[in-house]
Structure 1
Amino acid sequence: MLLTVSTTMNPATDLGFLLFKHPDRAQSFSTASGTAHVFYPQADEARCTAALLLEVDPVTLAKSRPGTSHVDERAYASGSMLAVALGSVFRTAMTGRCDSRPDLPGTAIPLSVHLPAVACNGGVDLAERLFAPMGWQVEARPVPLDPALPEWGDSRFLDLRLTGTQRLADALHHLYVLLPVLDDTKHYWVGEDEVAKLVRAGGDWLPAHPERDLVSRRYLAHQRGYVRSALTQLTELDGTAEEPEVTTTRPLAAARADAVIAALHEVGARRVLDLGCGGGALLERLAEEFSEVVGTDVAAGALDAAERRLSRLPERVRERVSLRHSSVTYTDPELAGFDAAVLMEVIEHVDPPRLPAVERVVFGVAKPAHVVVTTPNVEYNPLLGSAATRHPDHRFEWTRAQFQAWADGVAERTGYTVRFGPVGPVHPDLGPPTQLAVFSREEA
């Protein structure tokens, strides 16, 4: 099975520095599936092409899979075996490290990726759905079963070419995750560690991918427990894919952020806490609106994703934001004294017995002048095609009456007043998709 990666950046031979493989030297590596060879069919300043050729012994492969023939297509079609070889041979390149050219890994370069034979259970349409959202131009054509006998039709394999301007590390991560997804099978046992692999390789792009659920299911061999775990972690990294989208002129995630920011401006906040900030989607907007912003999350991976997101902001905006590893259920004295705190789609991720701890930490210890809380309205779920909760990590979802009862109780016990508002289109009977409460400390 063969993979080639070409570039026309100037000088194109810098591809060798990014891959940690010298263009003048062919190299071979032993992998779990066979022998991987790396060589350069072309290497000059105008164009450079690196090739990864994986040789798999079909007899050895057949012996490892009792009951299969010595003639096995998997020895020749790109899938999970090539993905594993890619991850092994180009491990350093995938981390974005380049000692000789430290500025190169962060630079998007023109790339062309060619896979002459890719196992694909889903055809050309699936290849486009998986790769196009990341900015790739996808050219795919089915490989005929036998070119001499066209009446036999096409095989399930594709000749796939991807072109686009990408960071090389991103391109390698796309291939590492999506090759086995195209095939919808893996040549090895899928265990719990595969969840970590998926989140690590896809954390920068998969959370917002429109086929995130399909990718997770196929990558994790349709094992529901692992899929739920992966989707929970990916959602925490995103902050925009919390629930099914509401049909409106503005996406619900954006409308929710608009409502939160409007509430913060209404109360005159300047110093703001984003509690449970996840991957930093709201932080990015808060940084542009307020003079000091602190984002907190209990998940270190979420904070890493938020840091990467914030790094793209202009320096004058980025310096307004700091990140802190903290939980909404544990006291953190450093979070006291702010004008406002935001818990946007956070409380439903807390087990109900732990809600008094959230109340004590946020309203009793941090004690900001104002607190803005949003949470799903479960009554609206039938309009989203969901009879249950909107996300597998939600411990509960409240009706409007339940949310107001909780908020009124918190306000009465902690010396705050509270008012409520809708977020998103309001149904005459079922209310809005998201409900919002703004708490104000009585002496504020």
Structure 2
Amino acid sequence: MQIIIRADGAGANMLSHLLAKNPNNLYEREEKGAKVRLVYTVCDEQRTEAVLHVSPDPIELVKGSPDSYDITQYINDREFVTSSLFCTYIRPSLGTALNGKPKETFAEWVSHKFALTLSFGPVASNLPEPVVEQLFASLGYEVEQERGEADYPFALKHRSSVRYITLRGRQTLQTALRQLFILMPVLDDYKHYFIGEAEVEKLERYGEGWLEAHPQRELIVKRTLRFADVIERYEANREPAREEQNGAAEPAAEAASLADGAEPAPKVRLNEQRYQAICETVQGLEHKRTVVDFGSGEGKLSARLAELAGVQEVMAVEPSAIARKRAADRFAKLAERGQGVVPKTVTGSLFYYDESLRGKDVIVLCEVIEHIEAHRVERAIATILNEYAPHALIVTTPNREYNQVYEMGEAMRHADHRFEWTRGEFRQACERWRTDGYELELQGVGERHEAYGHPTQMAIFRRREEKKEA
């Protein structure tokens, strides 16, 4: 595995000083079961290229560990791809550049943006090529992905499962290396070590200045930290920084708005807009005493629903034990504050019939159906409308057409999505689901695009009231 770092243009030779490696000498050291070498193929004022190459010893890597008796070590490719293991070799070898601490004479070059070309591989990634491209293109790089042809004696596949990635763009060396330090393991989604507080601190440190505004931030954080409790710690740590950043931005934004004679309008996240739309819909319903929040996760929406006037019971139905635990903690705090209606957690899913959910006034599926195989959604909705028979069913799901606004190509918004429907496909599905006993209304949620509609689409099924006998 290797990474090639090249700078072109005036001052390119300063790259060697930022890397703190003499271009006339071979850098070589043993590092955690691998031989690490850095060599310059060229170094002058107009072009400098450094190659960091790692040759792992798979036997040394597992010697003395419980994994040494695992036969799968003989076919393990993780030691040979640019994953989290490779990053552990980058940190000691390129630590001076990562931390931006060269000799004082060259300190001014830390903030200099070079014309960089970064090539690394092999990369084993389960992410589609458009997603990989967006991860780096959003940071200002031109992205090239190269795969070899796979020649099998039987019909398996024609392209190799690994690829080599080349990035080109203007960036400081420190920022470029920090971005790679975070994104290389994101590509492979593999961690060879325990994920805990140290990983949170690493993400905060090396993601500073670029991660918060990245359109794929959610994917990066999820694939870096993986576990819900670790992700929650990271988000909790980031909240004060966001508040401080928002507070600092308010005076300038307000001044600009007042100069135009308009009131400043804060940016509202799409998730918040979904919650608002659902709560406003529930609030406007005639029957809303009992509400079921299917796929409630950590209970954020359930907590909001419990605050609505006229709601007397909220059941937060969730299959994940970890999510239910976090929801229970959230609801306990509501009880401590004396909130009148406190949601209750319920173990369950769309695929297991629960007699206790029959006859409730409202059932909500907020961003749930796209996490299920499309052919199974039909049966789940049929169970809700025919068996549970609520007065109203509210369903939200992404609008695939709007992904063009995010410049996502054919990629889906979340790695766990099984499908994403266009507005036409969602309308057709809702028409199939609707029974004679329900009326259907379709709405959009979020900022509307003239060509692609809203980012979220929402369906509201309202039960037709039976005519009173004459």
**TM-score bucket of the superposed structures, by smaller chain:** 0.5 to 0.7
Q: What residue is the counterpart of 1:94 in the other structure? A: 98
The separation in 2 between residues aligned to 1:392 and 1:36, in whole angstroms, is 48
1:22 aligns with 2:22: yes
1:380 aligns with 2:277: yes
Q: Deviations over 1:220-243 (max 9, x none)?
A: 2x2110012223334554x4xxxx
Instruction: Assess if the C-alpha contact under 8 Å between 1:17 and 1:100 holds in 2.
Output: no
The separation in 2 between residues aligned to 1:179 and 1:157, in whole angstroms, is 13
Q: Measure how far apart 1:158 and its partner are.
A: 1.0
Give secondary structure in 1 for the equivalent of 2:23.
coil
Q: What residue is the counterpart of 2:251 in the other structure? A: 286
Instruction: Assess if the C-alpha contact under 8 Å between 1:36 and 1:52 holds in 2.
Output: yes
Q: What residue is the counterpart of 1:216 in the other structure? A: 221
Q: Deviations over 1:94-130 (max 9, x none)?
A: 1222322221111211100011411212142231121
User: How do residues 260-279 of structure 1 correspond to structure 2 at under 5 angstroms?
Assistant: 277-278=243-244
Q: What residue is the counterpart of 1:329 in the other structure? A: none
The separation in 1 between residues aligned to 2:141 and 2:8, in whole angstroms, is 16
Which has the higher Rg, Structure 1 or Structure 2? 2
User: How do residues 208-357 of structure 1 correspond to structure 2 at under 5 angstroms?
Assistant: 208-220=213-225, 222-234=226-238, 236-237=240-241, 239=242, 277-278=243-244, 280-287=245-252
The separation in 2 between residues aligned to 1:381 and 1:397, in whole angstroms, is 10
Q: Deviations over 1:63-96 (max 9, x none)?
A: 4532324353223221111112112211221122
- Computed over aligned residues only, the root mean square deviation of the Cα atoms, in angstroms, reads 4.1
The separation in 2 between residues aligned to 1:228 and 1:95, in whole angstroms, is 26
Give secondary structure in 1 for the equivalent of 2:160.
strand
User: Which residue identity does 1:179 align to in structure 2?
Assistant: M
When residues 392 and 206 of structure 1 are mapped into structure 2, their CA distance, relative to the original with a 3 A threshold, is farther
Q: What residue is the counterpart of 2:52 in the other structure? A: 52
Instruction: Assess if the C-alpha contact under 8 Å between 1:213 and 1:231 holds in 2.
Output: no
Q: Measure how far apart 1:379 and its partner are.
A: 4.1
Give secondary structure in 2 for the equivalent of 1:25.
coil
Q: Deviations over 1:231-258 (max 9, x none)?
A: 3334554x4xxxxxxxxxxxxxxxxxxx
When residues 289 and 390 of structure 1 are mapped into structure 2, their CA distance, relative to the original with a 3 A threshold, is farther
Instruction: Assess if the C-alpha contact under 8 Å between 2:189 and 2:223 holds in 1.
Output: yes
User: Which residue identity does 1:133 align to in structure 2?
Assistant: S
Within the candidate set 141, 144, 164, 2:149 is matched to 144
The separation in 2 between residues aligned to 1:400 and 1:383, in whole angstroms, is 9
Q: Measure how far apart 1:289 and its partner are.
A: 5.6
The separation in 2 between residues aligned to 1:33 and 1:383, in whole angstroms, is 59
Instruction: Assess if the C-alpha contact under 8 Å between 2:12 and 2:114 holds in 1.
Output: no
User: Which residue identity does 2:160 align to in structure 1?
Assistant: S
User: Which residue identity does 1:205 align to in structure 2?
Assistant: W
Q: Measure how far apart 1:141 and its partner are.
A: 2.2
User: How do residues 386-397 of structure 1 correspond to structure 2 at under 5 angstroms?
Assistant: 397=304
When residues 147 and 76 of structure 1 are mapped into structure 2, their CA distance, relative to the original with a 3 A threshold, is farther
The separation in 2 between residues aligned to 1:33 and 1:137, in whole angstroms, is 34
When residues 382 and 100 of structure 1 are mapped into structure 2, their CA distance, relative to the original with a 3 A threshold, is farther
Q: What residue is the counterpart of 1:410 in the other structure? A: none
When residues 110 and 388 of structure 1 are mapped into structure 2, their CA distance, relative to the original with a 3 A threshold, is same
5+ residue gaps, structure 1, are 240-276, 291-341, 346-374, 403-429, 434-444
Within the candidate set 177, 180, 186, 1:172 is matched to 177
Instruction: Assess if the C-alpha contact under 8 Å between 2:279 and 2:304 holds in 1.
Output: no
The separation in 2 between residues aligned to 1:379 and 1:390, in whole angstroms, is 17
Within the candidate set 80, 85, 94, 1:81 is matched to 85
When residues 57 and 392 of structure 1 are mapped into structure 2, their CA distance, relative to the original with a 3 A threshold, is farther
Q: Measure how far apart 1:45 and its partner are.
A: 1.8
When residues 227 and 169 of structure 1 are mapped into structure 2, their CA distance, relative to the original with a 3 A threshold, is same
Q: Measure how far apart 1:209 and its partner are.
A: 1.2
1:207 aligns with 2:104: no
Q: Measure how far apart 1:55 and its partner are.
A: 1.6
User: Which residue identity does 2:179 align to in structure 1?
Assistant: H
Q: Measure how far apart 1:206 and its partner are.
A: 1.1
5+ residue gaps, structure 2, are 256-263, 282-292, 311-442, 447-470
Q: Measure how far apart 1:161 and its partner are.
A: 0.3
User: Which residue identity does 2:54 align to in structure 1?
Assistant: L
The separation in 1 between residues aligned to 2:191 and 2:232, in whole angstroms, is 19
When residues 400 and 178 of structure 1 are mapped into structure 2, their CA distance, relative to the original with a 3 A threshold, is same
Q: What residue is the counterpart of 2:455 in the other structure? A: none
Within the candidate set 105, 123, 126, 1:118 is matched to 123
Q: Deviations over 1:23-79 (max 9, x none)?
A: 111112332342221111111222111111112102223545323243532232211
Q: Measure how far apart 1:187 and its partner are.
A: 1.5
Give secondary structure in 2 for the equivalent of 1:380.
helix
Q: Measure how far apart 1:282 and its partner are.
A: 4.4
Q: Deviations over 1:294-320 (max 9, x none)?
A: xxxxxxxxxxxxxxxxxxxxxxxxxxx
Q: Deviations over 1:181-214 (max 9, x none)?
A: 1001112222222111111111221112111111
Instruction: Assess if the C-alpha contact under 8 Å between 2:33 and 2:60 holds in 1.
Output: no
The separation in 2 between residues aligned to 1:47 and 1:391, in whole angstroms, is 52
What is the percentage of aligned positions where both structures have the same residue? 26
Q: Measure how far apart 1:153 and its partner are.
A: 2.0
The separation in 1 between residues aligned to 2:304 and 2:105, in whole angstroms, is 52
The separation in 2 between residues aligned to 1:33 and 1:223, in whole angstroms, is 28
When residues 151 and 89 of structure 1 are mapped into structure 2, their CA distance, relative to the original with a 3 A threshold, is same
